Each structure stands twice: as structure tokens, then as C-alpha cells.
Structure 1
Amino acid sequence: MSAKWALSLLAIVMLWTVSLTAQADNLPPAAKLDAPLPDGWPEPSAPGEIEVKQYPAYRSAVAKSGMKMDRADGILFWQLFAHIQANEIAMTAPVVNTYNTSGESDQVEMEFLYRTTKQGEAGNGLGQVKVEDHPEQTFATLVVQGKMNAEVYQTSLKELQAWLEKNPQWKQNGDPRRLGYHGPMTPQAKRLWEVQIPVEAVEAK
């Protein structure tokens, strides 16, 4: 695992300074992914599209913080990086950030995904890291290409929430998350992100 890749991933979770300005129909071709996806993980959708996607059960290393997302990202990244390095776990894409705002204080959760559910084992990891198994889940997802910041993230969430209002056959059933597929070695205009809301089907009455 190279130091170059580690620095690239650190930049993924810390680049929150510039808003997305290019429109989907004017974007250059997206770059190839920086690392392999976990087994069965779907490819990113086309930029600007909202799609409902099914994700398989997976295993990941998880770190959490009660700090604001911009302060937590770097700390969580290095906790997770130390864990996978110590356990010889190869890096995958994307890096997943989940944002819980339903409690009294915000909580940021970051995940490094394992390639398969047979890799390693669930339980305590290095330091504060936990290795967790996650069930299969369905997400409404919006792909963003370009630069990412908090404003773009919130705007994307509003687009997804508006889409859910127009598609009442789906309802939200969890906290939103952000997926980052590229690091700083990829030109900013070609980087892909997915902003997602977990959903479940509403039974017809």
C-alpha cells in the first residue's frame, strides 16, 4: 500500500472548500476508479442522475467522531488507515462517510470497505476502530462529478429529498451518506461522488 495512495485518500475526505460549478451535460469523461470496488458493489451511476440502487452485504472498518465533519475527517482517516495497514487489508473505493444528525449532537462515521465479507473478522479493530458487518440495503443515489464541499452535499440531499417527495413508493429509513471515489491525483473535474439516502419500499394500501 503506497504512501501516495494514502495521501490521495486523505485528500478525498478533506476537500470541502470549493463548490461544484460544471453542469452534467458539460462535464469531461469521469476518471476510472482509483481502487477496486468491494465484491458485488455497483458501479457509480452517471453524473446528475438519481437512481435507486441495491447494495450487497459487506464488511468494513468503521471509525466515529462527535466532532464537526470538517474536523473529524482527518482524524478518522488516519485511525482507519493505521488499522488496515496493521491488518494488511488492501484499499478499496469508495470511502464512505455517514452523517447522523438525528441526535443531540452530530456524529460523523467513516468506513474503509473490505473487498469481501470473508476478509478479516468482525469485532474490535486497532484502537477505536470497529470491524462491522452491514446488511444489504437500498439507496436513492445522486452522482456528483467535480469538486465537493458541504454546500454541494446539502444541495444534493435536498435534490434527493425532493425526488422522494415525488416518488412516494420509497421512504427514507436511515442516515444519509457520501461516497468518494477519487483522490487528488485525479483532475478535480473528473472526480466522482455519490450522495445517498437509504430507502425502503412503501407497501401499497
Structure 2
Amino acid sequence: MAELPEGFPAPTLPGVIEIKHYPPYRSATVRIEGALAGATSAAFAPLFAHISTNEIAMTSPVEARYPAIALDEPREHGQAEVSFLYGSLAIAPGRTAQGVAVEDHPAMTVLSLGLRGEYSWERFRAGLQQLREWLMHHPGYEVSGSARRLLYDSPYVPAERKRSEVQLPVRPEG
């Protein structure tokens, strides 16, 4: 696994649900319209070209954010945002290719479920359902943003060993 961005917590262990806090961070982001299941694959080439051209070190995880409606409906198409995360807010690219946006994200609190296994859309949806069930049994938090998935391992890691997280941004209720 590549290094985490500055201040990022360690990956959540498989099967564990926890509240996590993330610092502000910077990303290179591509918006992908179409099949949500294939968004991370479709975004890889332009994002890799961006960090390679700018000599920015690869970090882990890759972040994929999905439309808020994906929380309420079993949507398979829409617009996803896929990001390579910069190691530090101090890193600024010299050039940005068309279709790649450099974005700064505020600190956030999330409800996170750790997963091990293939990076499938079905696993993501099942993970979302587990998080929603946890929220029903733990009053005091409400969803405050779009679902996201963090993917920690390269395409060369066998599917059964891949680590990921399904996350929902949350805030104290009320």
C-alpha cells in the first residue's frame, strides 16, 4: 500500500464499523458519467497521467464519491467523482489536464465500514446498507453528505486481499 495523505487515519479493519475523523486534504478529481460500477476504472488513466506529468507521488487510498441518490435508490448509472489524493495540502500541480480538477476538501467525520475482497459495486451497496442499519440503531448521528468508497490496493493485489472502506459523512444529529 502506498503512503496515506498527511493526517489520514489507518484503514478500518474488515468487518469493523467505526466513526473516523479526516483532516482537510487535496485531490485530483475526474467526474465520470455512466455506469457507477466502472467509474474507478474509467478515471484511472487521466488521474495517473495527471500525477505522472506533475511528478506527484501516488498515495493510497483512491477515493470514489457517488451521488446522494445512490443512498436511497439502487442506482447503477449517474455521475461519480474519482480522486487520487495528494500527500499534502502543500502540493500544487504545475499543470492540470482537461477533465481533471484539483480540489481542496474540508475536514470531515465519517461512519466507516472496513471491507476485504473484490472492489465490486455489489459489495459497495451491501456496505452502504450495513452503515444505514448501524445508523438506525445508533441515534445521535445523521448523514451529512454523499457516500464514498476508499480503495487501498493496486490492481495487482489479488481480489481476495484487497482492502477498502465504505463511508458516509456524518454529523451529530440536530
Same structural fold, with TM-score higher than 0.5 when normalized by the shorter chain: yes
2:165 counterpart (170, 194, 198) = 194
Identify the residue that residue 152 of structure 2 maps to in structure 1: 181
- Provide TM-score, normalisation by structure 1: 0.77
Gaps in structure 2 of 5+ consecutive residues: 71-76
2:83 counterpart (105, 111, 116) = 111
Q: How many residues align?
A: 169
1:156 counterpart (106, 123, 127) = 127
- Do the aligned partners of residues 142 and 112 (structure 1) sit closer, same or farther apart at CA in structure 2, a change above 3 Å counting? same
Distance 1:65 1:99 in 2: 10
Structure 1 or 2, whichever has the larger Rg, is 1
- Provide TM-score, normalisation by structure 2: 0.90
1:81 counterpart (42, 48, 63) = 48
Q: Does 1:70 align with 2:37?
A: yes
Deviations 1:48-106 (A, max 9, x none): 01000000000000110221123433331111111111111110000011111439x72
Gaps in structure 1 of 5+ consecutive residues: 1-33
Distance 2:20 2:149 in 1: 14
Please say if residues 39 and 82 of structure 2, whose CA atoms lie closer than 8 Å, have aligned partners that are also in contact. Answer: no
Please say if residues 101 and 107 of structure 1, whose CA atoms lie closer than 8 Å, have aligned partners that are also in contact. Answer: no
Identify the residue that residue 21 of structure 1 maps to in structure 2: none
1:61 counterpart (4, 10, 28) = 28
Q: SS of the residue aligned with 1:73?
A: helix
Q: SS of the residue aligned with 1:67?
A: strand
Identify the residue that residue 120 of structure 1 maps to in structure 2: 92
Please say if residues 44 and 194 of structure 1, whose CA atoms lie closer than 8 Å, have aligned partners that are also in contact. Answer: yes
Distance 2:167 2:61 in 1: 13
Q: Give the C-alpha shift of residue 150 in structure 1.
A: 1.4
Distance 1:45 1:169 in 2: 21
2:110 counterpart (139, 161, 179) = 139
Amino acid at match of 1:91: M
Distance 1:66 1:131 in 2: 18
1:98 counterpart (54, 65, 68) = 65
The structure that is strand-richer by fraction is 2
Distance 1:184 1:61 in 2: 19
Distance 1:70 1:174 in 2: 20
Distance 1:76 1:126 in 2: 13
Please say if residues 65 and 108 of structure 1, whose CA atoms lie closer than 8 Å, have aligned partners that are also in contact. Answer: yes
Deviations 1:82-132 (A, max 9, x none): 1111111110000011111439x721110000000000169x821110100
Distance 1:187 1:126 in 2: 31
Distance 2:141 2:5 in 1: 26
Alignment identity in percent? 39
